Amino acid sequence: MHTIDVDPDLLRQSTEVALHAAAETYIHIAGEIDGRIPQLMDTLVPDGPYAYTIQPEFNADGTVRTPILTTREGIHDAYVIIRGASALLSVEPLVEIRGLWYTFQEGLSVGQPKGGEPTGGTMTLAIFPVSSGKGITGELVWPYVPRAMLGRGEAPADAPTDPVRIRRAVIALHDRFLNAFRAGDVDSMIETLNDDVQGAVRDYVNDTGTLIELRGKDEHRAFYGALFEKYEIRSVELLDRVAQDWYVFAEFRVTVNSHGADAPIAFHIAEYAVTAKDGRFMVHIGHGTDPA
C-alpha cells in the first residue's frame, strides 16, 4: 500500500544537493579550525562575487554595523587578521538546517586568543551559501548579543520577558514582514525594523550577485522600494523557519513578474533577523539564489 508517495527520484536528488551543501560547509569549518590561510581560501569557490559578513561593530549607544566583503582579496586579508589573532577550536551546531543551496547553523563556537586560554564559547548564527560546484560562496555570521545591548534608549515597559512569549512575538513580527513583502508594501515592511537597523542582503535591484549593506531605515526603504518598482510580487512562500528568543531564520521562495518579461521568475531567500530591545529587527542578514 502506498502511503507517502513522493517521487523517489525527487527525494534522491534533493538529498544529494542538501548533502553537497552540508559537505562544503563542513570542509570550510575544518579549514577554519586548521587555520592555514592558503588551505582555508581553497574552501571557497574559485571566483566571486563572494558574500561575507564578518567582524561586526558594536557601539556604546546600542547601534551596530556589519561590514561586508565581496572580493577574494578582502576575505584573504580578513582571515589573516582573524586567524592571526585567535584560533577556532570547535563548532558545535545546536540548530542546523541543510538547505539545497546553503547550510544554516545556530552553534557554539569555541576559540582561543593567541597566547591565551580557550574561551567558554560564543553562540553564533551562520549561513553558508554554496553553488553547484566545490566551495562555499559566502559566510554570513553574527554572534549572540543580549537584546538589552541592541538599540538605543530603554526597552518598552511592557516588553515580554518569558522566552516563549518572546519567540511568539518574533514569529508574529516576521509574519508582518513577510506579509508586507507579499503585498509590496514598503511602509509596512519598514515598521518591523528598528530605527538603526543594519542589513546585508542580496542585491536583487542591481543584480550584482552579492550583498548590499543597508544602514538604517532610510536605506532599507530605498532598497525595497526599488525592488518593488522593479518587480511585481506574485507570491512569497515560507519554506522553513526557526524562531528563538533572539532571532528568526527563514527560507522563502519569491515569485515575481519582471516588467516586459513573458514569464514569471523566482528566487529563494535565506536570512536571519536579530531583534533589538524594542522587539523590532535590528540586524537583517541573508543571501539568495539567482533569479530564474
Domains and CATH numbers, the chain: 8-143 (3.10.450.50), 149-288 (3.10.450.50)
Residue 260: partners with Cβ closer than 8 Å, 6 or more residues away: none
CB 25 within 8 A of CB 141: no
CA dist., res. 181 & res. 271, Å (int)? 14
Q: Per the structure block, which three cell numbers stand in for 258?
A: 519582471
Residue 213: partners with Cβ closer than 8 Å, 6 or more residues away: 66, 67, 68, 198, 199, 200
pLDDT, mean of residues 268-284 = 97
Q: Residue 96 above 80 pLDDT?
A: yes
Residue 30: partners with Cβ closer than 8 Å, 6 or more residues away: 43
Residue that has been written with the C-alpha cell 538589552 in this structure = 148
CB 156 within 8 A of CB 278: yes
CB 72 within 8 A of CB 43: no
Amino acid (one-letter) located at 140: L
Band of pLDDT at residue 24, cut at 50, 70 and 90:
very high
Residue 3 has a pLDDT of 86
Residue 280 has a pLDDT of 97
Q: Residue 1 above 70 pLDDT?
A: no
Please state the pTM of the whole predicted model. 0.95
What Rg do the C-alpha atoms of the chain give, in angstroms? 19
**H and E: helices and strands count for the chain:** 6, 14
